[in-house]
Structure 1
Amino acid sequence: MRVALQADERAELFANKLLKLGNGGTDTVQSPDYVSLLNFGTPAENIDILLDRIYPQIHSNYENHTWLMQRAILAPHNDSVSQINKLLAEKLPTQTHTYTAINSVVDEEQAVHCTVEFLNSIEVPGLSPHVLDLKFGMPVMLLRSIKPPELMNGTRCIIHNCNRHFVEVVIAAGIYSAQHRSIPRIPLRPSDTMFPFQFERKQFPLRPCFA
Structure 2
Amino acid sequence: MSESDYIISRAILSTKNDSVDEINDYLIDRFHGEERIYYSIDEAIDDKNGFYPLEFLNSLIVSGLPPHYLRVKVGCPIILLQNIDPANGLCNGTRLICKSFQQNVIDAKIVVGQHVGKSIFLPKLPLSPSDDDLFPFKLKRKQFPIRLCFAMTINKAQGQTIPNVGIYLPDPVFSHG
Q: TM-score, normalised by structure 2?
A: 0.80
- CA 194–108 in structure 1, closer or farther in 2 if over 3 Å, else same: closer
Shift of 1:176: 0.7
Alignment partners' CA distance in 2, 1:206 and 1:134 = 10
The gaps in structure 2 that reach 5 residues or longer are 152-177
Aligned to 2:35: 96
Query: Are positions 1:204 and 2:138 aligned together?
Result: no
Select the structure that is richer in helix.
Answer: 1
CA RMSD of aligned residues (A): 1.3
> CA-to-partner distance for each residue in 1:190-209, whole Å, 9 max, x for gaps?
11263222110000001001
Aligned to 2:102: 163
The structure with more radius of gyration: 1
Aligned to 1:43: none
Highest RCO, 1 vs 2 (Cα 8 Å, sep ≥ 6): 2
User: What amino acid maps onto 2:43 in structure 1?
Assistant: S
Alignment partners' CA distance in 2, 1:176 and 1:154 = 13
Alignment partners' CA distance in 2, 1:147 and 1:161 = 20
Query: Are positions 1:133 and 2:77 aligned together?
Result: no
> CA-to-partner distance for each residue in 1:70-108, whole Å, 9 max, x for gaps?
211111221110010011111211121001111001224
Moved more, 165-174 or 99-108: 99-108
Alignment partners' CA distance in 2, 1:114 and 1:108 = 7
- Identical residues among aligned pairs (%): 39
Alignment partners' CA distance in 1, 2:68 and 2:74 = 20
Shift of 1:153: 1.1
Number of matched pairs: 149
Query: Are positions 1:143 and 2:81 aligned together?
Result: yes
Aligned to 2:61: 123
> CA-to-partner distance for each residue in 1:10-47, whole Å, 9 max, x for gaps?
xxxxxxxxxxxxxxxxxxxxxxxxxxxxxxxxxxxxxx
Select the structure that is richer in strand.
Answer: 2
Q: TM-score, normalised by structure 1?
A: 0.68
Query: Are positions 1:71 and 2:10 aligned together?
Result: yes
